[in-house]
Amino acid sequence: MENMPEFTLHRPDTAAEAVKLKSSDSTSRYLAGGTDMIVNVRRGIETPETMIDLTAIADIAAIATDGDGLRIGAGAKLADLAVDETIIREYPAVAQAAASVAGPTHRAYGTIGGNLCLDTRCLFYNQSQWWRESNNFCLKHKGDVCHVAPGGKRCFAAFSGDVAPAMMVYEAKIDLEGPNGSRTIPLADLYRNDGMDHLTLEQDELLVSIRLPKAGPGAVSAYEKSRVRGSIDFPLAGCAVRLTEDDGKIADLRIALTAVNPYPQMVNGLADFIGKALDDDALDAIRELVQKQAKPMRTTTVRPWYRRRVVGALARKLTVRLAG
Amino acid sequence: MDGNGMPPAPITSIGEPLPMVDGPEKIAGKALYTSDFYDPSALAGAIKRSTVAHARIVSVDTSAAEALPGVHAVITGSETDEGHGVLPISRTELPIAHDKVRYKGEPVAAVAADSIEIAIKACDLIVVEYEELPAYYTAEDALAKDAVDLHDHREGNIERHVEFEIGDVDGGFADADLVHETEYHCAEVCQVQTEPHAAYVEYDGERDELTVRASTQVPYYVHLMLSKILKMPKSKIRVIKPYVGGGFGCRTEALNVEMITAMLARRAKGTVRTVVSREDTFITHRGRQEQTIKIQMGMTKDGRITAVDCKTIQRGGAHSGYGIVTILYAGSMLFAIYDLHNVRYDGKRVLTNTPPCGAFRGHGTVNTRHAFENAMDEMSKKLGLDPFAVRRVNLIPELGFTASDQWINSYGLPECLDIVEKASGWKERIGKLPPGRGLGLGCSHYISGASKPVNWTGEPHATVNLKLDFDGTVVILTGASEIGQGSNTILVQCVAEVLGIDPSRVKVVDADSRVTPKDNGSYSSRVTYMVGNAAIEAANNLKGMLVEAAARKLEVSPEDVECLGEVYRAGTQDEGMTFEEVVMAALEGTGTITAKGNFDTLPESWGGKKYRGAAIGGTMAFSYAAQVVEVTVDPDTADITVDKVWVAHDCGKALNPLTVEGQIQGSVWMGMGQALTEETSYHDGLLISGNMLDYRVPTFVDSPPIEAHIVESNDPHGPFGAKEAGEASLAGFLPALTSAVANAMGVRVHELPVTPDRLLQLLEDKERKMRSAAE
């Protein structure tokens, strides 16, 4: 189908102007790479009359080191993150996550800002207008039933961005610009556990840049996702691990997950492993911990129990790999 | 003698790896596909689809849609009461549902408007009132005793029940040392060809005539069905097949997209262009049905099959489509690959409230072959025999007729087996691979065109015309549908070979009902075999005319003319005539030359009469393939990596080794999709996987190295010995994959596709069993 609803396109050259344009039209949407949103526009999920193209904003795509670490403009392309030497060297999980998003053409268009602000996904939501109508719509959009958990009043649509967990294990912060000025918050605080409303952004607030603090000495990291195909697919489950070892013992361990909940989540309880040796018992315990905290639901065609199994397996596998 | 002092010689085209003749246009983006036809005045067509699975249509209110500015035509099921379908006995599907809808997504109305956005808006304004009926999404539910019939003429929702017994099956089981029963389940799959369905139809109001361009494999069937549903004389319709972006069987019958577009164009008295979405293309469907296959097999202790009992149920969807043919193939193609004498078959094609299935590549054979080959592998393990040895002991000992009266004239399966056994290092490696790695074998076969056409008209199976004029260009006029498989290239090679001329002299004009001879279409791998043979006959007839003309000029008798392709001469010392000179001589007194060639199948190949429908499965030549698949399985995630595939395909003679290799690789790759990742899934009859994210076709990254070997058994009746090259290598992949996984992990997955969740479940079950056994 060649259907493309009409809309007005603005292309501001500052973030402030973008926010102003956004505030002036309640039907408007920010547009960066558009690789995910335009699909939803064609499906009638999003119906913006105005789109505000962010790609002309000065420095929006810049990747630069500053005193505190690395600053990545929200408009930087995923393909650029995947090959950036500093990111590969200092934050390997971030480069690996960026390289694993969708296919090469998506990465050439898709931005890091878009990937972090990605809408949650569900089999019953990412469908055409006709399809959703035939299914009486759903809690997340136009309907009052959740087809994943009928009877419930919660939406379980899964956050499926790859890069968020990789940045969260580095305690990334994000710079936001809104009608009431700018603020900087931890990336983890951008999200809440609600598939219908998973972003904590205030009305018309815009993600401008991401700050990755200096990586600690000796820290190594990795990201991997489970998917049926080796390319294109969103994660069925994704896992980022950052490990620091000291003399064969765990000095620091952070794990973050994606696609197994409505938000990217840090795994809790890992502090208990500090000082322990990375033996089979510890690795199995890490796997158990991860599996327990992942709560995948039937939001994809692959069964939830498998996604829970596999996210634990990924955490264990990556930890072993990082331990060398 | 030419300038280099070499004697002139006919130019060889057959066996040469000639790049496809339509390649440059495709690579340069100049090739025009249906959706590339565009006129500013063309209206956009859109289809409104049913939101319910099974219901009586109480009313369709189109008033608001018709009142919308920019709308030129709104049509509903009342536009035609004529049904369409492949077989004359099952033309019960309407292009737009009238009294009843039978699946979610069935067209209920259509609109032509100034833009696609207006057309979609108008569709939204159409109000359909339904009175819902019980709906059945599985064959089991549709077969239940109290189930409501989807169609009046199909009691119990059985489209066709095929039963036969050939030989003495119970006696065969009594003679067996091992009788083994096993069951396999194959998910429904779609073709996912690159080009979504499209139609571009111009209506000439002055003359009440239609010109139709459609993305189809069968322009002739489209022509017939348009005439039927529009109630227009065939002479008022012209069907042109532009470039087509793949078919694989989903365009082997006239589809509602082209029929609806034609009805809209006539109603709007203008040109309508419909390019449907990927989701609509999935729903239009005609993919491979969901199927359960139960096989009971008897074997002697040396692996010889003594009897086979096969029971199968296919979920066919809401309309017949090719269903009757499919369920017949699933039975008849149990034969003609191994030496079988005692076979019992019970096949049911069931109507359900899901989109209609069709003739997917490897039509009817793939799922049954999957179960059959797995049964052989399971039994070889039980008997302690090598899977290759089990295949070899069951090879067909001599050419001729099978117990089911299918005619085998060439049989390269033994050589296929030898090649893949050696190339894969099977003997040295089987049983010695590290944990998590495994090898599996699968064999398969296919027909080279169905010997009896579904529309019996008394005409030859294929006709090709050649036109030769003053410019010395040999123009092939063919109705055969080039859909990317390379049929135009093969016809050029056949004609150039017979005439011995440079293939660049030969051009093709194809698939335009006003210009080219009728052709049944591109399906069941019939084109190379049948149209190729017709092209050879046409070229021989043309050559005869040229030789006679040369004889006249050279003042010798035709027998004394030596045709060297670009030169005709009467003796080795004679300088002879150039091709152009011969052409001019031939045109004297007659003007433009037209030569014609036909092909007809021989009655021996018609498949016999041992049971009702036995003609389905009759062919002039069977192709054969064997393949070995190597896999690595990750024990923690059950992710399967296909490391390599070795495949050998007996195509009789590789007319073009380059395109044959491409076809083999494509078949293997498509089999891999069905085996590993692809399946349609439904939520209350709604196709939940109607997009390319949730329907997972393998990507480049997932594609293993495929080592394709060509076996040439030289079929006595095939064009230059050729037979089918584009389908047989598909089916073998599936059982080779499940057998390789079984070899690697010790568990056999009986359900396709072998996704990691299915495999992990079995691995965990196995581990649990071992643990409890140890305790």
Supply the CATH number for residue A41's domain. Answer: 3.30.43.10
B602 three-class SS: coil
Q: Give B629's contacts (C-beta < 8 A, 6+ positions apart).
A: B439, B440, B442, B642, B644, B645, B733, B736, B737, B739, B740
Cis geometry, peptide bond prior to residue B753 (ω within 30 degrees of 0)? yes
Q: Spell out where chain A has E strands.
A: 8-10, 29-31, 50-53, 63-66, 69-73, 173-178, 181-186, 206-213, 219-226, 237-246, 249-258, 265-266
Q: Which residues of chain B fall short of a pLDDT of 50?
A: 1-2
Give the total residue count for chain B: 775
What DSSP assignment string belongs to B331-365?
HHTTSSSS----EEEEEEEEE-SSPPP---SSTTT
Among A2, A41, A42, A130, the residue to mutate for chain B (most B Cβ within 10 A): A130
Least Cα distance to B328 among B315, B347, B306, B312 occurs for: B347
- The reply to whether A146 falls in a domain is no
Phi, psi of B265 (to 5 degrees): -65, -40
- The reply to whether A252 falls in a domain is yes
- The reply to whether A150 falls in a domain is no
Rg (CA), chain A: 20
Mean pLDDT of chain B: 96
pLDDT, one tens digit per residue, over A182-234 is 999 999 999 999 999 999 999 999 999 999 999 888 899 999 999 999 999 99
Nearest to A306 among B686, B694, B757 (CB): B757
CA distance B419 to B625: 11
On chain B, the residues whose CB falls within 8 A of the CB of A127 are 688, 690
Number of domains in chain A: 3
CA distance B564 to B558: 14
Nearest to A313 among B196, B636, B755 (CB): B636
Please give the order of strands across the beta sheet that includes A206-213.
A63-66, A69-73, A206-213, A173-178, A181-186
Same domain, A205 and A290: no
Given CB atoms, is A4 within the 8 Å cutoff of chain B? yes
What DSSP assignment string belongs to A115-142?
HHTPPPB-TTTSS-HHHHHHTT-BTTBB
pLDDT at B452: 86
> Which tokens go with A125?
């939501």
The verdict on a CB contact (< 8 Å) between B696 and A228 is: yes
Last residue of a domain, one of A198, A213, A228: A213
pLDDT at B5: 59
A185 is in which domain, residue-wise?
63-117+158-213
Angle B33-B35-B36 from CA coordinates, rounded to 5°:
65
In chain A, % helix, strand, coil (3-state, to 5) comes to 30, 25, 45
Same domain, A223 and A279: yes
Same domain, A312 and A186: no
- The reply to whether A128 falls in a domain is no
B606 three-class SS: coil
Same domain, A192 and A176: yes
On chain B, the residues whose CB falls within 8 A of the CB of A128 are 277, 279, 690
Same domain, A30 and A67: no
Same domain, A315 and A208: no
The residues facing B272 across adjacent strands are B43, B201
Least Cα distance to B132 among B11, B51, B66, B204 occurs for: B51
Same domain, A100 and A165: yes
Given CB atoms, is A130 within the 8 Å cutoff of chain B? yes
Cβ–Cβ < 8 Å for A157, A299: yes
CA distance B32 to B243: 6
The CATH number given to whatever domain includes residue A262 is 3.30.390.50
Cβ–Cβ < 8 Å for B43, B202: no
CA distance B640 to A302: 15
Same domain, A80 and A194: yes
> Which tokens go with B377?
């592998």
Considering the segment(s) B23-31+453-600 as one domain, its CATH architecture is 2-Layer Sandwich (3.30)
Same domain, A205 and A86: yes
Last residue of a domain, one of A58, A85, A103: A58
Per DSSP, helices labelled H in B523-624 are 532-554, 579-587
pLDDT at B7: 67
pLDDT at B625: 98
Q: Could you state, in chain order, the average pLDDT of each consecutive group of 10 residues for chain A (324 residues)? A: 86 97 96 95 94 96 91 98 97 98 96 98 96 96 93 93 98 97 98 97 97 90 96 96 94 97 97 95 97 95 95 97 90
Least Cα distance to B258 among B215, B313, B207, B205 occurs for: B215
CA distance B775 to B765: 15
In total, the C-beta contacts within 8 angstroms joining chain A to chain B are 96
Using a CB–CB cut-off of 8 Å, the residues of B that contact A are 49-52, 104-105, 116-117, 120, 196, 275-280, 636-637, 639, 677, 679, 681, 683-684, 686, 688-694, 696, 698-702, 755-757, 760-761
